[in-house]
């Protein structure tokens, strides 16, 4: 049995009532011990995190106490350019009021530089692309944090923001085990594949990121659901892939081609039949490559 199944079964965090992803309905849930969270292998949605206790740690015995003890303000988030800590001065009073003067002051100082302006743009781009790819908030957060880091290390100046943000999202997806293909990234980005690859390369180098090469397993759940294949076939395809990896049949091969072939074989074995053409269209590799991988498997 594959790694994933093992993880699922032994996962101490997985409670009985969580069986499928509330976001996309996929039943392929992964338990990440390192981060102590359960997330969907299909869309990456974090379903359960046990590290963070969202409830108050204090007890209130009457409403007055509750009001006094409650912390103020929205939770801090990295996806807002000043981490959500700024105070916005409300509008509404006349020119002469003190409020107006404060507003004027805020306008002048709040967005201080073009650097900050471009940071705001970058965050909105990360959000836009992540939405288009149906990526969950935790991945957007991670990409935003990396962008801030890149900014602190002065890696942005002189390069295209679009390239950097796309590459960061691409990297983060892989780190979370919900890999997207370069083609999919390009489709939602405003720059080409070359630019994305270039940015990716230097970001990994200069931010000292650890990105393991993509595993075919990362692609299988999503491709299966796009092909309308059921859970048993998905599981079968994952098994085939893991066996292939153990037999070192995957060395030097493109992971997407392997995933495509594994799905093709698993579908036939499971009594469902999908044309090579269909799989080729969804996965973005040619029928010839699917055939070649099939032969090897």
| Contacts to DNA by CB under 7 A | 193-194, 197, 251-254, 257, 275-277, 284-289, 291-295
Query: What does the alpha-carbon distance between residue 76 and residue 264 come to, in Å, rounded to a whole number?
Result: 45
Closest CA to 237 of 214, 252, 255: 255
Give the DSSP letter string of 264-297: HHHHHHTT----HHHHHHHH-S-HHHHHHHHHH-
Query: What does the alpha-carbon distance between residue 251 and residue 273 come to, in Å, rounded to a whole number?
Result: 28
For DNA, the closer CB: 226 or 287: 287
* Helix 287-296, helix 276-283: angle, nearest 10: 110
Closest CA to 150 of 134, 161, 141, 139: 161
Residue 264 CB, nearest approach to DNA (Å): 8
Instruction: Please check whether residue 177 is in contact with residue 199, taking contact to mean a CB–CB distance below 8 angstroms.
Output: no
Residue that has been written with the tokens 């990456």 in this structure: 44
Residue 297 CB, nearest approach to DNA (Å): 12
For DNA, the closer CB: 13 or 270: 270
For DNA, the closer CB: 78 or 202: 202
Residue 202 CB, nearest approach to DNA (Å): 12
For DNA, the closer CB: 7 or 253: 253
H/E stretch holding 94 reads none
Give the DSSP letter string of 96-160: TSHHHHHHHHHHHHHS--HHHHHHHHHHHHHHHHHHHTT--HHHHHHHHHHHHHHHHTT-STTS-
Residue 278 CB, nearest approach to DNA (Å): 8
For DNA, the closer CB: 79 or 200: 200
Residue 257 CB, nearest approach to DNA (Å): 5
For DNA, the closer CB: 38 or 260: 260
For DNA, the closer CB: 101 or 243: 243
Residue 226 CB, nearest approach to DNA (Å): 17
Closest CA to 87 of 70, 106, 115, 112: 106
Residue 193 CB, nearest approach to DNA (Å): 6
């Amino acid at each position: 049995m594959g790694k994933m199944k093992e993880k699922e079964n032994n996962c101490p965090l997985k409670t009985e009532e969580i069986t499928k992803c509330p976001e996309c309905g996929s039943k392929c849930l992964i338990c990440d011990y390192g981060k102590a969270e359960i997330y969907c292998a299909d869309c990456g949605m974090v379903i359960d995190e046990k590290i963070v206790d969202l409830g108050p740690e204090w007890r209130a015995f009457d409403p007055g106490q509750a009001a006094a003890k409650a912390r103020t303000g929205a939770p801090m988030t990295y996806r807002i350019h000043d981490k959500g800590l700024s105070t916005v001065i409300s509008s509404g009073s006349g020119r002469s009021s003190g409020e107006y003067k404060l507003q004027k002051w805020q306008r002048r100082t709040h967005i201080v530089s073009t650097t900050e302006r471009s940071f705001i743009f970058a965050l909105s781009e990360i959000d836009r692309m992540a939405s288009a790819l149906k990526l969950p908030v935790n991945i957007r957060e991670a990409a935003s944090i990396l962008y801030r880091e890149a900014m602190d290390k002065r890696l942005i100046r002189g390069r295209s923001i679009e390239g950097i943000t796309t590459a960061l999202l691409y990297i983060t997806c892989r780190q979370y085990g919900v890999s997207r293909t370069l083609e999919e990234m390009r489709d939602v980005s405003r720059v080409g594949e070359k630019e994305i690859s270039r940015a990716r390369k230097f970001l990994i180098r200069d931010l000292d990121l650890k990105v393991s090469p993509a595993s075919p397993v990362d692609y299988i759940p999503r491709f299966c659901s796009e092909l309308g294949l059921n859970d048993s076939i998905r599981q079968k395809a994952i098994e085939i892939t893991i066996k292939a990896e153990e037999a070192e049949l995957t060395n030097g091969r493109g992971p997407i081609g392997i995933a495509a072939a594994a799905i093709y074989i698993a579908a036939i074995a499971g009594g469902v039949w999908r044309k090579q053409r269909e799989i080729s269209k969804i996965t973005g590799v040619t029928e010839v490559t699917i055939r070649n991988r099939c032969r090897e498997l």
